[in-house]
Structure 1
Amino acid sequence: MNDQCATPDFSTAEMSSEAAPPPLRAADAREAAAVFAAKLSPAPSTRAVQNLVLLSSELVTNAIRYAGGVTALSFGADQGALHVRVVDPSPTHPQCRVPDLTGRTGGFGWPMVLRLASRVTIHRHGSRGKTILATLAR
């Protein structure tokens, strides 16, 4: 993981991409991820789609809970990978916390993102927020 956003250009010819409306709830992100994946040909593996849906949900949940919401959500795919990009208004880097086993304060989402994604990049936009891009194998 790094702070440089060495991200794929979602406009290249060999990549499918789609911007989704900024979600207000994690459920909106899960639905958008599933709809995006269903349009891909060839279809990604079932496991990749499940991981894309879960990554989208966790990134959006974290942005809503800790970063003031989501200002942009987009998905991309190329021959070997799926990508989810979440933009939020907070410049603060996500933090790993000790998980709360009582379920009150969380602490599971960011470590899950780091385990599921093959690559996570964070690009800060000064005091205007950040973009998080998670990439996973197709």
Structure 2
Amino acid sequence: MSETTTTDTEGSASCLVLEDDSPAGVPRARDIARVFADRLEPALAAETAETLALVVTELTTNALRHGGGRYTLELSAGPDMVNVAVSDLSREPPRMRAPDLNGGTGGFGWHMIRRLTCSVTTSRGPGQGKTIRASLPR
């Protein structure tokens, strides 16, 4: 696991990168997203910060479960958007599936991500893997 943070000239976090391969990394990624949101200038609305944390949780969980067991999370912010990028080892794009209301096997995450963000794209890397990028309005 490694973490890198860069800052803009005013000291607010503008980009953060986290690499992880453990289930314990999902709560850590969520906490890091909250800290990232708290450091932004101007600050995000509380609801937007929680939405960011939820999107990060879903994307990193999916990367561990379905993406080869390792992910890289990158958070960045511009004047109008907050961006999340999660890269994993699988070249398979996410797929919609019917949520499992009884068996507890999930199926809610991708629906949630698409509903909570204003933009979601998936791109394959030059070698192995893919990156999912999601944006939320500030």
TM-score range, shorter chain: 0.7 to 0.9
Distance 1:42 1:123 in 2: 30
On the 8 A contact 2:97/2:107 being kept in 1, the answer is yes
**C-alpha distance 90-99 of structure 1, shift in aligned 2 (>3 A):** same
Name the SS of the counterpart of 1:132 in structure 2: strand
Distance 1:82 1:118 in 2: 10
Deviation of 1:16 (Å): 1.5
Shift of 1:11: 9.6
Other-structure match for 1:36? 36
* Aligned counterpart, 1:75: 75
Structure 2 segments unaligned to the other structure (5+ residues): 1-5
Equivalence map 1:13-92=2 (5 Å) = 16-22=14-20, 24-25=22-23, 26-92=26-92
8 Å contact kept, 2:63–2:71? no
Whichever structure has more strand as a proportion of its residues is 2
- Rounded to whole Å, the distance in 2 between the matches of 1:94 and 1:11 is 31
**Whole-angstrom CA distance in 1 between matches of 2:21 and 2:69:** 8
Greater relative CO (CA pairs within 8 A, separation 6+): 1
CA distance in 1, matches of 2:89, 2:46: 32
Contact kept, 8 Å, 1:70 with 1:86, in 2: the verdict is: no
The equivalences for 1:120-131 within 5 A come to 120-125=120-125, 128-131=128-131
State the match for 2:3 in structure 1. none
**What's the TM-score, normalizing by structure 2?**
0.84
After superposing on structure 2, the runs of 4+ consecutive aligned residues of structure 1 that deviate more than 2 Å are 10-13, 20-25
Identity of aligned residues (%): 40
Q: CA contact under 8 A between 1:98 and 1:107: conserved in structure 2?
A: yes
Aligned residues: 129
Are the equivalent residues in 2 in contact too, given 1:91–1:127 (CA < 8 A)? no
Distance 1:120 1:20 in 2: 20
- What TM-score do you get using the length of structure 1 for normalisation? 0.84
